[in-house]
Amino acid sequence: MPLIDPILYVLPLTGIGFIIIALICNKNLSDRKVINLKLKKIGLFLIADAFGLIVLIGIMMIGTGIYFVSQKYDSKIESYEKKVNDQESTIAALSEIRVHLSLDFPPENPAKPGSAKAKILLKKALSAENAFDFHDEYVDKSDTMSMSMSLVVYEVGIGDMLRVVVEDNGKQWISNTLRIPDNRLKMILQ
């Protein structure tokens, strides 16, 4: 803790001490006129005895101390808010994942290259709904025969569930359900 912190608390405590001393010595201080200020042009008249002056100084010290303490706390609150915002943005960045999927088709019924269309269905982990929603679409533009297809799915989070539906010339394959962070889907001909 910096050395200035105790000073911030000493000022209001000293002001309270001044007020207590003024209350204890009230009889001795009230007969003396200390301030007699009259500014007629601006309409300011200030007449105070020693008691009033000491109480006024005590209140000013308390107010000043409270002001500086509150300013210190305001700066702490701002720094904590900044840290929280930084952590929230880091969490958001980490929760958005890019997933590379490899779709393995049965060897006797692979999808034809260049014409297969994959629909990616997604169910968010925090979703109250039980159904998968359309998320993205991918068209295979390769020209080589293969029993597997690779694709990338963006903007998914940990705990989300994926399912891929591939259509090709009237045939349809549906993958098993994948819970992120797994990335291999077995394709079953329907």
State yes or no: pLDDT of 80 exceeds 50: yes
pLDDT at position 91 is 74
In a 3-state reduction of DSSP, which class is residue 164?
strand
State yes or no: pLDDT of 30 exceeds 70: no
Secondary element (H or E) of residue 54: helix 50-95
Kindly report the pTM of this predicted structure: 0.45
Contact 119, 163 (CB under 8 A): no
Q: Which tokens in the block code for residue 134?
A: 């359309």
Q: Collect all residues with Cβ–Cβ distance below 8 Å to 150 and sequence separation of at least 6.
A: 100, 101, 102, 103
**Separation between Cα atoms, residue 162 and residue 180, nearest integer Å:** 8
Q: What are phi and psi of 40, to 5 degrees?
A: -70, -35
What average pLDDT does the chain have? 78
- Residue 136: is it exposed, middle or buried by C-beta count within 10 angstroms (0-12/13-18/19+)? middle
Confidence class of residue 1 from pLDDT cuts 50, 70 and 90?
very low
Q: Which tens digits make up the pLDDT trace of 31-56?
A: 666 777 787 888 877 777 778 888 88
Contact 98, 152 (CB under 8 A): yes
**Separation between Cα atoms, residue 153 and residue 100, nearest integer Å:** 6
